[in-house]
């Protein structure tokens, strides 16, 4: 009865209430690390509790409520070697583990790393991104990383994880064999590849790398310029066509201001050529006095004929008042009898002499 009242007054509640965003492990503080027999242990969702006795992991508790008695602590009871029938307090440390996923943890290369690109050869790149991590095995994480730290935060492990990622990133990218030109369109593929390769190295610490994201891979400025030129060349076709394009672009810019003048000059030249061709279609006048006439014979033009030749044709009957003629300056073909210059050539022949 006396023992029941005594231990009833000293029953503890062992729990961890913490809303900090970066705490991974918290050690339950108790003076002398003394846990009373029959204490209530509360492990909430997203937590795990680990009992440590004399520096050795004794028991691991999943979410739930437990009454701490010898029958509920088989491993600890064996280590403690409880006297038969004596329900006494025991000294142990209780560590609470935050099992949630910690997101948006940063990683990045402090210095440029050298990769061998299939197109550009050795090239210096920088990369950065984020990753998601959680505690996978509390007992392993306690032994390998936490030790006796009573309040372990993400800042104490992220540097180590970042160093692992950066140390393996160059090897992983080299094995992926993704050209620099194609990296921007393959960040997701690269992220999955890196996660798969690095996750086993993180598991040895009792952690799980659930997702690693590559957000950017940058190259030196001179390489970016070369990539821009290569992209422009690819849009046009090949390097020869790209060179032609550049030359044509420069000529086009220089000739824009003179384009109007060139068009006017070309128009004038064409007009002069057309005028010359039109002039060539009309035969020039032949040397000699008087106008030269074309004469229609059987529906076809002949000539031109000078006044002498016209007189001979008139005398021979090849040019009459009804014959159609044309000369430069006339609007249309006209009867010879209606042209003043030819009327004198068309005198009627003298009648035959009377017989004697």
Place of tokens 């990622």: 165
Q: What are the boundaries of each domain within the chain?
A: 2-98, 102-223, 293-346
How sure is the predictor about 121, in pLDDT bands with cuts at 50, 70 and 90?
Answer: confident
**Inter-CA distances, 148 with 27, 91, 97, 99, 235, Å:** 9, 15, 14, 19, 61
Q: Is the pLDDT assigned to residue 150 strictly greater than 60?
A: yes
Contact 192, 219 (CB under 8 A): no
Would the pLDDT of 240 be above 50? yes
The 10s digit of each residue's pLDDT in 49-103 is: 998 877 788 888 999 998 877 665 655 555 555 444 445 556 678 899 999 999 9
| Global confidence as pTM | 0.56
Over residues 292-347, the pLDDT tens digits come to 989 998 888 988 888 888 888 888 888 888 899 999 888 889 998 888 888 878 86
Q: What is the pLDDT of residue 268?
A: 45
> Which range among 111-115, 165-169, 183-187 shows the weakest confidence by mean pLDDT?
183-187
Q: Is the model more confident about 114 or about 237?
A: 114
As a whole number of angstroms, the distance between CA 105 and CA 158 comes to 7
Q: Which fold has domain 102-223?
A: Tetrahydropterin Synthase; Chain A (3.30.479)
> Tokens 């800042």 sit at which residue?
155
Pairing state between β 40-43 and 13-14? parallel
Residue 256, pLDDT > 70, answer no
């Amino acid at each position: 009865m006396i023992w029941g009242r005594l231990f009833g007054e000293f029953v503890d509640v062992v729990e961890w209430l913490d809303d900090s965003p970066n705490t991974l492990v918290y050690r339950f503080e108790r003076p002398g690390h003394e846990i009373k027999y029959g204490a209530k242990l509360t492990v909430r969702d997203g937590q795990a509790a680990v009992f440590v006795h004399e520096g050795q992991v004794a028991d691991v508790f999943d979410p739930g409520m437990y009454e701490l008695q010898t029958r509920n602590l088989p491993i600890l009871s064996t280590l403690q070697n409880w006297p038969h029938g004596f329900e006494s307090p025991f000294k142990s440390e209780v560590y609470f583990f935050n099992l949630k996923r910690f997101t948006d943890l940063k990683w990045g290369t402090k210095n440029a790393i050298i990769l061998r690109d299939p197109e550009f050869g050795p090239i210096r790149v920088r990369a950065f991104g984020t990753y998601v991590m959680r505690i996978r095995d509390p007992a392993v994480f306690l032994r390998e990383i936490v030790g006796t730290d009573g309040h372990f935060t993400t800042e104490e492990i992220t540097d180590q994880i970042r160093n692992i990622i950066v140390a393996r990133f160059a090897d992983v990218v080299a094995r992926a064999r993704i050209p620099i030109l194609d990296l921007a369109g393959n960040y997701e593929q690269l992220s999955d590849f890196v996660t798969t390769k690095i996750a086993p190295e993180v598991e040895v610490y009792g952690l799980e790398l659930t997702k690693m994201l590559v957000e950017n891979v940058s190259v030196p400025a001179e390489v970016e310029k070369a990539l821009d030129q290569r992209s422009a060349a690819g849009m046009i076709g090949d390097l020869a066509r790209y060179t032609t394009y550049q030359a044509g672009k420069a000529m086009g810019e220089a000739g824009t201001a003179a384009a109007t003048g060139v068009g006017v000059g070309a128009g004038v030249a064409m007009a002069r050529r057309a005028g010359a061709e039109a002039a060539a279609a009309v035969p020039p006048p032949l040397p000699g006095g008087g106008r030269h006439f074309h004469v229609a014979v059987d529906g076809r033009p002949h000539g031109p004929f000078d006044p002498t030749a016209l007189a001979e044709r008139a005398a021979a009957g090849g040019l009459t008042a009804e014959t159609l003629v044309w000369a430069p300056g006339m609007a249309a073909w006209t009867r010879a009898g209606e042209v003043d210059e030819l009327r004198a050539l068309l005198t009627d022949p003298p009648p035959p002499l009377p017989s004697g």
